[in-house]
Amino acid sequence: MKLDISKVRDELVVWIRDFFEKNGKGCKAVVGISGGKDSSVAAAICAEALGRENVIGVLMPCGVQSDIEAAHMLVNHLGIRHFVVNIGESVKALKAAVPDALEATRQAEINLPPRIRMSTLYYVSQCVNGRVVNTCNLSEDYVGYSTRYGDSVGDFSPLSHLTVTEVRELGKLLGLPDALVYKAPSDGLSGKTDEDNLGFTYETLDRYIRTGVCDDPEAKERIDRLNRINRFKLELMPSFEPSEDAYEGF
């Protein structure tokens, strides 16, 4: 199964405009800009749908970010208004506030900055009458490669049904620089690329998602396992509802 990316672009533009017409007429699209393909493409398609004057980028380095130039390249290329909010001191302050008796796990350390970034995005969004753009793609969502209540949330999600391969194709169609479209995906926190952390390539994952074919049995097993154990991230939070018998009569 192959998507016609030109049609996808046209449909996405209409979909974004419709979302804002119904859920935020006159609001700005607020995008966290990392300099990677997802935030770059999300910002670019929003600029095409709403006009660049209605898109605001938020750059959120955690102390020193080695590839911050890529984020600046994106906002300059699109000509969108942007803010830089360094979350480094906030991360340090929260860690310092936690009692010494609580031993931080590596996963807690990695997921803290994305959650603070999302709080920052919503702060900025409410200051500018905005709607926060979720920048996750289908490939990441399929294997749970996102931080719950971090980069996994937002007010609308333009890319969540597009694989990494398709996001790159859309980026090229939108005229983004190759340096952004083909920048090696990385969480910017663990010091590894996405593919290093996942244990398989996005090419392998995308092919499996779209065709059901995976030539590497070990990769298939790992993909299936990650998909299974991370489905909860895409579902509504379970909530208890009392039975009719639990209600007292009037």
CATH of the domain at 22: 3.40.50.620
Q: Give strand ranges (E) for 34-174.
A: 55-59, 81-84, 130-132
- The answer to whether residue 124 is domain-embedded is yes
- The answer to whether residue 142 is domain-embedded is yes
- The answer to whether residue 175 is domain-embedded is yes
Local structure of residue 91 (DSSP, 8 states): H
For residue 42, how many other CB atoms are within 10 A of its CB?
Answer: 29
8 Å CB contact between 41 and 142: no
**Alpha helices by DSSP H, 4-105:** 5-23, 37-50, 68-78, 88-97
- The answer to whether residue 223 is domain-embedded is yes
Determine the structural domain holding residue 160 and report its residue range. 5-236
- The answer to whether residue 230 is domain-embedded is yes
Mutual angle of helices 37-50 and 164-173, in 10-degree steps: 50
For residue 179, how many other CB atoms are within 10 A of its CB?
Answer: 14
Q: What does the pLDDT profile of the chain (250 residues) look like in tens digits?
A: 789 999 999 999 999 999 999 999 999 999 999 999 999 999 999 999 999 999 999 999 999 988 899 999 999 999 999 999 999 999 999 999 999 999 999 999 999 999 999 999 999 999 999 999 999 999 999 999 999 999 999 999 999 999 999 999 999 999 999 999 998 876 665 567 888 889 999 999 999 999 999 999 999 999 999 999 999 999 999 999 999 999 986 5
Residue 190, H or E segment: none
- The answer to whether residue 248 is domain-embedded is no
Q: Which two tokens stand for residue 173?
A: 């169609």
Q: How many structural domains does the chain have?
A: 1
Residue 212, phi-psi category: left (phi > 0), alpha (psi -120 to 50), beta (remainder): left
